[in-house]
Amino acid sequence: MKTEIIDEKKNPLFNRKEIILEVESEITPSHSEAEKIVSEKFKTSSEALKIKKIYGRFGSKTFRINANIYSSKEEKESIEPKSKKEKEAEAKVLEEAKKAEEEKRKAKEESKKLDEKK
């Protein structure tokens, strides 16, 4: 897969690097593939970058990837708005953790009751 940097700007206001990459591929790269390509090209972790858009022209095998690269994951999370999918996934994880904590508490109470009966 051939990659070429089309544009690279440093944005000091948001403390990020805004890039446009051109990739030659048979099929449109997925977001995870695009993250891998950008992280390898710029030697950064995939957690500290945000793929903004992947687009190509009809019949062409070249695709452009717009991405923002941040210095850390925390900085990315504080600046980039979360998508609906990301918010739902986060809520699901929190809900599962809450359920697990509740089950743990109930199991503790039951074991105390059994100890008291003995």
Q: Tell me the domain boundaries of the chain.
A: 1-80, 82-118
Residues in the chain predicted with pLDDT less than 70, given as ranges, are 118
* pLDDT value, residue 115: 77
Is there a contact between 2 and 30 (Cβ–Cβ < 8 Å)? no
Smallest Cα–Cα separation from 80: which of 108, 53, 51, 59? 51
Per CATH, the number for 1-80 is: 3.30.70.330
* pLDDT value, residue 118: 64
Q: CA 58, CA 60: separation in Å to the nearest integer?
A: 6
Record the pTM.
0.70
